[in-house]
Structure 1
């Protein structure tokens, strides 16, 4: 037994030496795929050292007062200690391998790694000096305290990585009181969108655990996107990556959130959809949206317009509320524990007048009633006037007219009234001048004339009239045109396909890499043929709108195939694809640089030599590359092209020094095109040098960058 214990002890000692060395050089480590599998077993193995270390402490305390242990007791305690040391070291090594995968960074990862290393060293040290520890009370207390303390702190950081900040101590921590805001104060992003992200997304996409290199804790990080690009695009199918992943079947690997995690509700999905569709604004107030806006209708029901008002009437029976609730009439308290109720009606096709009559049993407890887009008419207002506690009434886009307005004078507590999209005019609103409690009326889309509005503001000085957005002097930007062409590699001449969803928008474009403008650049018309390597840049213009951003796309065409090709420097072992053949297989890589369609170079430049059996007329040479700043893949520091008819006497045909990014951006394909006067060439050489030091703004500042290439095109 002692023989095997010595072997295990020496293995664990060597394992700790290896662990310390790997921690010192981890920024230079690249894990092969089979070791990544081993690393992903960390969550499985980590429970063993936790249990074993706790068993060791309990065992040693139980036998603390006995100075002379039996041989069996001594062997049991020693075996527990050695097993704890072995499994702690194994779990720490696996955890280090797992942390090298993309998405694990931040202070929590750092503390968790070094905490695991400390526990591994401590458990082995305890085994080595177990007998002196048993004889000394002070040593025993120190060893137990260090073990328990380090175990709790390390486990806490692990829980933070997996489940989010303060997961372990949350039940006993003093929680900040949740701030409740009224509808008037609610911000679209801060109080509607961000809470959804915090509950359903940020546990996997934070600075400590950024799955897919996506961080959602801040607005800037959210808009930057992850390794697969930006999260949304209003010109893309289903509005981009985020909505596509959210709507995948739950069993799909790429469905978000992953199976087993809390899923988004249909209401939350709709809120995100309408927020993205409307432009993903992060600064606007919810109240600034029109009452008929889908996002407003979905989100406003979560906020009370009554502020901190205290209601003293008795609450309705829960059984009664359940009986009255159905799919198209939702009754809920305005706040947790409040007796005041808000009622929302949905789907006009299913609305029946008796649904309103059925509310008579709770009419004195209703403070908010939303009948927007329901077939409500003037006679219904007579019954609505009996809701004597009503503070907020939304009858937008209903059939009410001036004739029915007088009935609302019975609502002596009414504060907010939405009449948007109705046939009500100034005459009808004047009938409400006796309502001293009225604070705001929404009149967008009504028959209220400018003169009526001026008169009403004088007659009802305590009422704010919301007339909607008046954007006569504000120019909203157009979305960029859509480039519909599917293939990037041109075999035969193909028509350029551009479109824009805005009717009347003018699309202008360039094919020479210059930025389109509204004067010199040609207007797009069907029939433009693409038949050479080029970059298409396009913008949209329309009177009364700001110019769109530029949309660009590279198209590649190759007429010449070299007879011999050789890479002077081998690609990195993880990104070798199919060797030099990868550059001439006419298969474009996507944004996933691990797909096997890219060649990656870091320590040495991409240096390619090629030759033709006979001198060949060449006028264009293009190398297609990837830029993904978050993955340390930058534009090359320089790209040089050489050519000639003697292998050892080549002349430089051109050099490109691409501008370097000033901040993180979404991944994208960039082609570097050399054009020159047609010349006969037998030998050519391409050199693309990686940036030697990443800039100061980059998380890997000072490190060497990568260069990735997927195709070469010669014309």
Structure 2
């Protein structure tokens, strides 16, 4: 190596010397070195981007017959330095644990091989020849392959073994479960919660805290801190304790910035721990209450409803009554229907019965609708959104909605609805949202409804759920 090129190695050498100093000072090392490991995800992308750009410039220069030696050398020097730095920081990060040893070893050693190959490319590029060595291109291709393999195993460590192929595989078709009693509390409910919120960091390749949540068996094995759950005692279970810590606590799980467990999910995990045993019994054999029944409705597996097209005659007849109709999607027969005038037709909404299977969204707000006109609503089993705001309805109308299992959004503000009507409705169905300000619902009883039912009831004040 000539003196002119020593400058390329000065900064890397200085970094290595600094790390050696840190390693010999225990107090300083305990504060700074772990933080350096956390920089690994940031630093590793620098040599990847630089190397790919350099390869592109090199191939382009060969096609044009012009070799930009200085640019290639500087870019490879940059890549070499940061690849070495990424290896050092990655090794420090690996000391935190929580990774599958075999996958970690492959990632580590292929990463080191990549740094060596990039450094070798840099050394070859500094030769005095104005033309690149005949070995330069084959060596470059091998380096690109190595960094690709290292990157793949890095993604496996971070996101799991199926990260690359997740969307290539045909999704597993779940068998319909239309009855709450047929649900298995762990397989169909608790495991789904873990899968959505926890398994990214607690799987077979990345076990933070030594804990894997990929199966009930793994969960019961516990982690580095001991058993994760204490059967029949959620409040003494480490898993539940960490999930219920304040989000600002360093030990809170999932960590701040990750999707958090909802109040409903925490309740279900607590219930499962308090009733758990070595089997995964169906809900039918477990003690039940209204809260459990309401929360479990979200975990039923219902086949997608394919709505057949309405006849042109039926649509024309309803439009003739003054209703406005629009298809929701081109490939499905679902309809959105509204009425723009204050006074409804003489037969009220009875003409809509001929479209009862197609109505998905119905807006009758700001009309003279009254209880004696709403009997037709009972037949609209595919109804998802219903707007009855600023009408003359009372709790009697809500009685006509108790069989509409698909109903998710109900708008009934500025009506005479009361607590009893809402409670009777929520005992039978579980909509997601009810908008009910300016009604007879007592604000002081709202907290009772909030504790008993999962539905979000909006009363238009700070006291709403």
TM-score, normalised by the number of residues in structure 1: 0.40
Query: Does the aligned pair in 2 maintain the 1:311–1:339 contact within 8 Å?
Result: yes
Q: Cα 1:190–1:358, aligned 2, differ >3 Å: closer, same or farther?
A: farther
Q: Residues 27-38 of structure 1 correspond to what in structure 2 (within 5 A)?
A: 33=30, 34-38=32-36
Q: Residues 301-312 of structure 1 correspond to what in structure 2 (within 5 A)?
A: 301-304=298-301, 312=308
Aligned to 2:138, what secondary structure does the other structure show? helix
Q: Give the corresponding residue for 1:97.
A: 92
Query: Does the aligned pair in 1 maintain the 2:98–2:210 contact within 8 Å?
Result: yes
Aligned to 2:380, what secondary structure does the other structure show? helix
Q: Residues 493-504 of structure 1 correspond to what in structure 2 (within 5 A)?
A: none
- What is the alpha-carbon distance in structure 2 between the residues aligned to residue 319 and residue 166 of structure 1? 46
Equivalent position to 1:297, from 279, 294, 297: 294
Quote how far apart the aligned CAs of 1:282 are: 4.9
- What is the alpha-carbon distance in structure 2 between the residues aligned to residue 209 and residue 168 of structure 1? 16
- What is the alpha-carbon distance in structure 2 between the residues aligned to residue 271 and residue 237 of structure 1? 11
Q: Cα 1:142–1:133, aligned 2, differ >3 Å: closer, same or farther?
A: farther
Cα distance per residue 1:563-613 (max 9 Å; x no partner): xxxxxxxxxxxxxxxxxxxxxxxxxxxxxxxxxxxxxxxxxxxxxxxxxxx
Q: Give the corresponding residue for 2:253.
A: 256
Query: Does the aligned pair in 1 maintain the 2:48–2:147 contact within 8 Å?
Result: yes
Q: Give the corresponding residue for 1:267.
A: 264
Q: Cα 1:386–1:233, aligned 2, differ >3 Å: closer, same or farther?
A: closer
> Which ranges of structure 1 fall in alignment gaps of 5 or more residues?
17-30, 321-337, 342-353, 369-378, 392-398, 400-416, 419-715
- What is the alpha-carbon distance in structure 2 between the residues aligned to residue 270 and residue 246 of structure 1? 11
Equivalent position to 1:157, from 153, 158, 168: 153
- What is the alpha-carbon distance in structure 2 between the residues aligned to residue 83 and residue 189 of structure 1? 51
Q: Residues 145-544 of structure 1 correspond to what in structure 2 (within 5 A)?
A: 145-168=141-164, 170=166, 173-183=168-178, 186-233=183-230, 238-279=235-276, 282-289=279-286, 292=289, 294-304=291-301, 312=308, 314-315=333-334, 317=336, 360-361=376-377, 363-366=379-382
1:3 corresponds to 2:3: yes
- What is the alpha-carbon distance in structure 1 between the residues aligned to residue 172 and residue 38 of structure 2? 38
Query: Does the aligned pair in 2 maintain the 1:119–1:147 contact within 8 Å?
Result: yes
Quote how far apart the aligned CAs of 1:258 are: 0.9
> Which ranges of structure 2 fall in alignment gaps of 5 or more residues?
17-27, 310-332, 340-356, 361-369, 385-394, 407-419, 421-427, 430-465
Query: Does the aligned pair in 2 maintain the 1:85–1:124 contact within 8 Å?
Result: yes
Q: Which has the larger radius of gyration?
A: 1
Higher strand residue share: 1
Aligned to 1:63, what secondary structure does the other structure show? helix
Q: Give the corresponding residue for 1:76.
A: 71
Q: Cα 1:49–1:367, aligned 2, differ >3 Å: closer, same or farther?
A: same
Query: Does the aligned pair in 2 maintain the 1:15–1:89 contact within 8 Å?
Result: no
Q: Give the corresponding residue for 1:39.
A: 37
Quote how far apart the aligned CAs of 1:88 are: 0.5
Quote how far apart the aligned CAs of 1:275 are: 1.3
- What is the alpha-carbon distance in structure 2 between the residues aligned to residue 158 and residue 133 of structure 1? 37
Q: Cα 1:225–1:119, aligned 2, differ >3 Å: closer, same or farther?
A: same
Q: Aligned-residue CA RMSD in angstroms?
A: 4.5
Q: Cα 1:224–1:294, aligned 2, differ >3 Å: closer, same or farther?
A: farther
Q: Give the corresponding residue for 2:60.
A: 62
- What is the alpha-carbon distance in structure 1 between the residues aligned to residue 265 and residue 116 of structure 2? 47
Quote how far apart the aligned CAs of 1:257 are: 0.8
1:121 corresponds to 2:116: yes
Quote how far apart the aligned CAs of 1:78 are: 0.7
Aligned to 1:158, what secondary structure does the other structure show? helix
- What is the alpha-carbon distance in structure 1 between the residues aligned to residue 152 and residue 372 of structure 2? 53
Aligned to 2:300, what secondary structure does the other structure show? coil
Higher helix residue share: 2
Q: Cα 1:49–1:309, aligned 2, differ >3 Å: closer, same or farther?
A: closer
Q: Residues 571-582 of structure 1 correspond to what in structure 2 (within 5 A)?
A: none
Cα distance per residue 1:147-176 (max 9 Å; x no partner): 3332233222222222333335545x2342
Quote how far apart the aligned CAs of 1:200 are: 0.7
Aligned to 2:117, what secondary structure does the other structure show? helix
Q: Cα 1:287–1:80, aligned 2, differ >3 Å: closer, same or farther?
A: same
1:142 corresponds to 2:138: yes
Cα distance per residue 1:407-455 (max 9 Å; x no partner): xxxxxxxxxx99xxxxxxxxxxxxxxxxxxxxxxxxxxxxxxxxxxxxx
Number of matched residues? Answer: 335
Q: Residues 536-685 of structure 1 correspond to what in structure 2 (within 5 A)?
A: none
- What is the alpha-carbon distance in structure 2 between the residues aligned to residue 309 and residue 99 of structure 1? 48
Cα distance per residue 1:514-543 (max 9 Å; x no partner): xxxxxxxxxxxxxxxxxxxxxxxxxxxxxx
Quote how far apart the aligned CAs of 1:249 are: 2.3
Q: Cα 1:179–1:106, aligned 2, differ >3 Å: closer, same or farther?
A: farther
Q: Give the corresponding residue for 2:352.
A: none
Q: Cα 1:247–1:133, aligned 2, differ >3 Å: closer, same or farther?
A: farther
Quote how far apart the aligned CAs of 1:57 are: 1.1
Quote how far apart the aligned CAs of 1:215 are: 1.5
Equivalent position to 1:51, from 49, 52, 56: 49
- What is the alpha-carbon distance in structure 1 between the residues aligned to residue 371 and residue 111 of structure 2? 62
- What is the alpha-carbon distance in structure 2 between the residues aligned to residue 192 and residue 54 of structure 1? 45
- What is the alpha-carbon distance in structure 2 between the residues aligned to residue 166 and residue 318 of structure 1? 44
- What is the alpha-carbon distance in structure 2 between the residues aligned to residue 37 and residue 385 of structure 1? 58
TM-score, normalised by the number of residues in structure 2: 0.59
Q: Cα 1:97–1:156, aligned 2, differ >3 Å: closer, same or farther?
A: same
Query: Does the aligned pair in 2 maintain the 1:214–1:225 contact within 8 Å?
Result: yes
Aligned to 1:60, what secondary structure does the other structure show? helix
